[in-house]
């Protein structure tokens, strides 16, 4: 089974921890199975650039899964509606905060999806963040000309044809999939919120729930359990003594990644990440 897409595409969303910068490493080390499952799909860089028989994608962020659902269902209608918010009259702080308030008040899935793409591309630094009451609260980004990802959306329409979508906790998603599919056919790629490099570097605001160290341990345990039952599992995280111990006895591939490590966009450094591979 040829698991790589012939042409690579970037995701249509900006996303904290997006994996496009690592896509070649991910594709090179992804265990070869016919079905791909992503419990933390995020912007979808991996599933979009593979050619599995079927993909199962999940995220705890309801707005994220909703935009995939609307794109899969409405296709060009969604693209046309979303693009209407990328005209000049909406490219200012007043319009942004008005539309952000409209988004937070709306319960209409199609409208929320269109506004979510607008907020994602016009908000500060590609963040996705909610306050304690569940309201989206990313400030205006003040970019010169926010990019509308027309070609990327078309690409994802094709990739979503063979995708099943769910909005569950990672554990419920993995367990339910294990009950209905043959584990020997599945590779799980898990890209959780990373273990913090320091006590002040633990951004997990893209969903209302937190992902603590105990959650890291439970994910590792579930991954090992499903591996012992026949699945292949690959997990991304920071390369730390804690994570290396956590993922034993997986094969560990260490990767150096240059990225922003704080809200100061000029502060970049090389950070060690790892892939823990059970196969």
Are the C-beta atoms of 9 and 51 separated by less than 8 Å? no
Q: Is 215 annotated as a binding residue?
A: no
Alpha carbon distances (Å) from 42 to 45, 61, 89, 257: 8, 9, 29, 18
Contacts of 8 (CB under 8 A, 6+ apart): 23, 49
What is the number of alpha carbons within 13 Å of residue 108 lying toward its C-beta? 7
Are the C-beta atoms of 76 and 57 separated by less than 8 Å? no
Query: For the residues of 217-241, what is the DSSP string, one character each?
Result: HHHHHHHHHHHHTT-EEEEEEE--H
Q: Is 80 annotated as a binding residue?
A: no
The secondary structure of the chain in percent helix, strand, coil, rounded to multiples of 5, reads: 45, 20, 40
Contacts of 126 (CB under 8 A, 6+ apart): 14, 15, 16, 18, 120
Q: Is 59 annotated as a binding residue?
A: yes
Give the CA diameter of the chain: 56
Q: Which residues does the annotation place in the binding site? A: 15, 19, 59, 191
Q: Which residues does the annotation place in the binding site for S-adenosyl-L-methionine? A: 15, 19, 59, 191
């Amino acid at each position: 089974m040829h698991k790589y897409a012939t042409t690579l595409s970037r995701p249509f969303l900006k996303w904290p921890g997006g994996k496009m910068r690592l896509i070649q490493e991910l594709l090179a080390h992804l265990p070869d199975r016919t079905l791909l499952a992503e419990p933390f799909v995020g912007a979808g860089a991996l599933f979009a650039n593979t050619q599995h028989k079927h993909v199962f994608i999940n995220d705890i962020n309801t707005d994220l899964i909703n935009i995939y659902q609307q794109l899969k269902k409405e296709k060009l209608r969604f693209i046309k509606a979303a693009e209407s918010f990328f005209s000049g009259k909406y490219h200012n702080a007043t319009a942004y905060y008005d539309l952000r308030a409209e988004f937070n008040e709306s319960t209409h899935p199609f409208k929320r999806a269109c506004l979510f793409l607008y907020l994602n591309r016009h908000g500060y630094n590609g963040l996705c963040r909610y306050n304690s009451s569940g309201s989206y609260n990313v400030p205006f980004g003040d970019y010169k000309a926010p990019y509308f990802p027309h070609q990327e959306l078309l690409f994802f329409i094709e990739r979503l044809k063979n995708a099943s979508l769910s909005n569950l906790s990672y554990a419920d998603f993995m367990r339910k999939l294990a009950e209905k599919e043959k584990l020997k056919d599945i590779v799980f790629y898990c890209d959780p919120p990373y273990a913090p490099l320091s006590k002040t570097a633990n951004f997990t605001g893209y969903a209302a729930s937190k992902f603590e160290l105990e959650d890291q341990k439970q994910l590792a345990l579930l991954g090992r359990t499903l591996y012992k039952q026949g699945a292949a599992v690959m997990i991304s995280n920071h390369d730390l003594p804690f994570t290396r111990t956590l993922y034993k006895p997986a094969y560990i591939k260490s990767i150096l990644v240059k990225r922003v490590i704080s809200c100061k966009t000029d502060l970049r450094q090389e950070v060690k990440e790892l892939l823990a591979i059970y196969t």
